[in-house]
């Protein structure tokens, strides 16, 4: 049954519908693969009994002739999504053994469409990180290894568990979230496809909040088509989320394979930064050539406020985190450390429950929101955010999509950047602009660097125009013909 884990989601769904194998069989194959891959530390909670029960139910539905877009397909869930009765931690000690009495809208949509839950996936604590090293459960190990070294590599973050599982064939697909690049950067570092949809396309209800105006759920998958299938199930208007957009969900899969001849693709000159590794610069040039060969017109565009994006992001995101994380105080749920007074309980609980990176961001956020600094930092950052969005609006008057690198490097060693927060934050340099503007973007694997590690190309689309984005990404995927998989060492 091990061959079943190498299938793409689309191949698995076709096999299930043709009754070439059952949901129980493919679920059992994935559970065995997960058990054998515990050295990756990608799961924080395996749910084999629940998975097999869901698989048996899916098989019964298939036997009755029922249909569902994901019927019988085993997937993994980032442990930021609340799952009813199943422990949800956000990668933090402060939530303790919290078992939500409700289901997030995104996961409820997946179960409605017949998906099977294999377990909860590791992540940076409260999604704050770019290497999956801030998790209370320890770092995830990238299944990829450099040709030159056996050093353990980071899968990126915060959705490192999701990306590693997809790359190692432990799941057919996975949910993830993207606040500043936390879907796309891990996708680039693991040779997988990651989609950050338009802000409001997927409901945030039941997703543990980091920065509410930036957070957006999306899929990590093996192929562009798989990502389209998952996003269609994850999307949809939700009246419980005030930022959820009341728009129809397109058939994203219908855009995969569609001709892109005649499209105008923008190449932002501000993304040509100093010290870009030669392999990444070469891949970007190759991506431009692939799209030109596919009949696109490539146009240089300017996004002049790009250089202010990271500073603005690291004011706005911590400010919102400071507000959102105030609810974790040892009173209603999660961990609690008793003290001599109410203030002692608050302080001791938060000191013990939060990791160092979360504490750092909460302190930064509290500072920029404090009297005397609110106007100087937070309001100014919001004005910069508006300018960044305006830059994209102007660019999309001339082009249909944008092409950039996804990340400034291939996978790096665990521990290499942990001691330098600024170096870690720079991993988001190509991705944060999209979150600040609320636009859709995705990372597609384009090739390997000199050390044999995957590199990704990023396609950015207009708001709510994921269709063109999927068409361009599929054309890149076809041209790149990326078939590499990590050599099994775990």
Per-residue pLDDT tens for 278-288?
A: 999 999 999 99
User: How far is Cα 318 from Cα 387, in angstroms, rounded to an integer?
Assistant: 20
Task: Please give the share of the chain, as a percent, with pLDDT higher than 70.
Answer: 100
209: pLDDT strictly greater than 80: yes
Confidence of residue 104 (pLDDT cuts 50, 70, 90): very high
Instruction: Look at the chain and report how many structural domains it folds into.
Output: 1
For residue 321, the 8-state DSSP code is H
Q: Can you tell me which residue has the tokens 């960044």?
A: 388
Quick check: is 242 catalytic?
no
Catalytic-labelled residue, pool 104, 131, 154, 158: 158
User: How far is Cα 241 from Cα 460, in angstroms, rounded to an integer?
Assistant: 25
CATH code, domain with 125 = 3.90.1300.10
Tell me what pLDDT residue 2 has. Answer: 53
Domain span at residue 216 reads 2-262+400-480
Tell me what pLDDT residue 472 has. Answer: 98
Q: Is residue 43 part of a domain?
A: yes
The torsion angles phi and psi of 443, rounded to 5 degrees, stand at: -110, 135
Catalytic-labelled residue, pool 10, 22, 23, 78: 78
User: How far is Cα 367 from Cα 387, in angstroms, rounded to an integer?
Assistant: 24
Q: Tokens standing for 409?
A: 């490097």
Q: Is residue 432 part of a domain?
A: yes
Look at the pTM and tell me if it is higher than 0.95. yes
User: How far is Cα 434 from Cα 413, in angstroms, rounded to an integer?
Assistant: 26
Quick check: is 78 catalytic?
yes
Confidence of residue 99 (pLDDT cuts 50, 70, 90): very high
User: How far is Cα 359 from Cα 355, in angstroms, rounded to an integer?
Assistant: 6
311: pLDDT strictly greater than 70: yes
Q: What is 155-195 written as a DSSP string?
A: --SSSHHHHHHHHTTSSSEEEEEESSSTTHHHHHHHT-EEE
Catalytic-labelled residue, pool 104, 130, 146, 182: 182
Confidence of residue 372 (pLDDT cuts 50, 70, 90): confident
Query: How many C-beta atoms lie closer than 10 Å to residue 134's C-beta?
Result: 26
Q: Is residue 353 part of a domain?
A: no
Q: Is residue 255 part of a domain?
A: yes
* Secondary structure (3-state) at 445: strand
Q: Is residue 335 part of a domain?
A: no
> What pLDDT, in 10s, does the model give residues 28-76?
999 999 999 999 999 999 999 999 999 999 999 999 999 999 999 999 9
Q: Is residue 176 part of a domain?
A: yes
User: How far is Cα 114 from Cα 117, in angstroms, rounded to an integer?
Assistant: 10
> What pLDDT, in 10s, does the model give residues 417-435?
988 888 898 899 999 999 9
> What pLDDT, in 10s, does the model give residues 334-353?
889 999 999 999 999 999 99
Q: Is residue 376 part of a domain?
A: no
The answer to whether 168 touches 186, Cβ cutoff 8 Å, is no
User: How far is Cα 428 from Cα 476, in angstroms, rounded to an integer?
Assistant: 22
Q: Can you tell me which residue has the tokens 């609320």?
A: 438
> What pLDDT, in 10s, does the model give residues 122-173?
999 999 999 999 999 999 999 999 998 999 999 999 999 999 999 999 999 9
Tell me what pLDDT residue 1 has. Answer: 42
Q: Is residue 146 part of a domain?
A: yes
């Amino acid at each position: 049954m091990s061959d079943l884990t190498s299938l793409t989601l689309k191949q698995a769904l076709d096999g299930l519908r043709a009754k070439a194998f059952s949901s129980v069989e493919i679920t059992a194959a994935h559970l065995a693969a997960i058990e054998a891959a515990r050295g990756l530390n990608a799961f924080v909670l395996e749910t084999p009994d629940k998975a097999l029960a869901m698989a048996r139910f899916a098989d019964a539905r298939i036997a009755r002739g029922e249909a569902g877009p994901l019927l019988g397909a085993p997937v993994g869930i980032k442990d930021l999504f609340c799952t009813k009765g199943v422990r949800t931690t956000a990668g933090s000690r402060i939530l303790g053994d919290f078992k939500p009495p409700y289901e997030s809208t995104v996961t409820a949509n997946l179960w409605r469409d017949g998906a099977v839950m294999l377990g909860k996936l590791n992540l940076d604590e409260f999604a704050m990180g770019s290497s999956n090293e801030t998790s209370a459960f320890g770092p995830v190990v990238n299944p990829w290894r450099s040709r030159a070294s056996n050093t353990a590599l980071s899968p990126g973050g915060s959705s490192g568990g999701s990306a590693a599982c997809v790359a190692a064939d432990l799941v057919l697909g996975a949910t993830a979230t993207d606040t500043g690049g936390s879907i796309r950067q891990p996708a680039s570092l693991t040779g997988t496809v990651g989609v950050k949809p338009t802000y409001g396309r997927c409901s945030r209800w039941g997703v543990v909040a980091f920065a509410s105006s930036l957070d957006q759920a999306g899929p990590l998958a093996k192929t562009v088509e798989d990502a389209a299938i998952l996003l269609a199930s994850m999307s949809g208007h939700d009246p419980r989320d005030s930022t959820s957009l009341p728009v129809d969900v397109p058939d994203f899969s219908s855009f995969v394979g569609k001709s892109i001849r005649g499209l105008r693709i923008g190449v932002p000159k501000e993304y040509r930064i100093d010290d870009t590794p030669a392999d990444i610069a070469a891949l970007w040039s190759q991506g431009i050539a692939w799209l030109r060969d596919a009949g696109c017109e490539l146009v240089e565009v300017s996004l002049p406020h790009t250089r202010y994006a990271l500073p603005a992001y690291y004011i706005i995101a911590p400010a919102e985190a400071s507000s959102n994380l105030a609810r974790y105080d040892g009173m209603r749920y999660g961990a609690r450390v008793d003290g001599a007074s109410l203030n002692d309980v608050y302080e001791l609980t938060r000191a013990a429950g939060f990791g160092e990176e979360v504490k750092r961001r909460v302190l930064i956020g509290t500072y920029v929101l404090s009297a005397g600094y609110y106007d100087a930092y937070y309001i100014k950052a919001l004005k910069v955010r508006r300018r960044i969005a305006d830059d994209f609006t102007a660019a999309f008057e001339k082009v249909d999509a944008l092409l950039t690198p996804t990340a400034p490097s291939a996978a790096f060693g665990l521990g290499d950047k942990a001691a330098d927060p600024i170096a870690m934050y720079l991993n988001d340099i190509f991705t944060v602009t999209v979150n600040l503007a609320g636009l859709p973007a995705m990372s597609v694997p384009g090739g390997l660097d000199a050390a044999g590690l995957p590199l990704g190309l990023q396609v950015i689309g207009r708001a709510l125009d994921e269709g063109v984005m999927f068409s361009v990404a599929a054309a890149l995927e076809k041209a790149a013909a990326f078939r590499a998989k990590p050599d099994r060492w775990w």
